[in-house]
Amino acid sequence: MIEVEIKAPAGRAELTRKLSQLGAVFEKKVWQIDSYYNAPHRDFKDTDEALRLREQGSRIYMTYKGKKLDPLSKTRKEVEVEVGDRDKMEDILISLGFKKTLDVIKERQIYHYKGAEICLDRVEELGEFVEVEAIAENQKEIGAKRDEVITILRELGVRGDLIRESYLEMLLQKQQ
């Protein structure tokens, strides 16, 4: 699966109204705690990869994100699997030499519109963002999916700077 994603800073209250006007379907509101890890054999910052352990309610997911494939969006291969026990999974990672990099904590409202997932995020230490994501089945679809994502952002009235960086990258930059 290839995730085509773009985010932008945006106020949630205004976007919630706009999503309602456009007929977007609200799915749920969740808290996500994303713990990121770095490999002992290569630096994911240098290879533009990510390994994440996500806690969302009672569910736990391990996600690998490959390097970005598009210069205008955060488009990358994503492989995700649900795991049964967060603490045991973290113990496995630490035992294999992985180091915890950082936690990204956010409250997320999830909507669906025109085949895309729209997330209104409130990220601790960063603020409020809108993130629009579409799935490309192969690399040939990336350009079309990116254009769809940008069109949705424009329909939502998002006119500011579009962000290609992940929340992890943004938090690490803020710490420097």
Which residues are catalytic, by number? 36
Structure tokens at 145: 């999916």
> 54-77 burial, b if ≥16 CB within 10 A, otherwise e?
bbeeeebbbbebbebbbebbbbbe
Structure tokens at 16: 């919630």
Place of tokens 């254009």: 147
Pairing of β 2-9 and β 76-83: antiparallel
Residues 6+ apart with CB under 8 A from 89: 53, 60, 62, 83
Pairing of β 76-83 and β 25-38: unpaired
Structure tokens at 49: 């990869």
Structure tokens at 36: 């990121």
Yes or no: say if 90 and 51 are a contact pair by the CB < 8 Å rule.
no
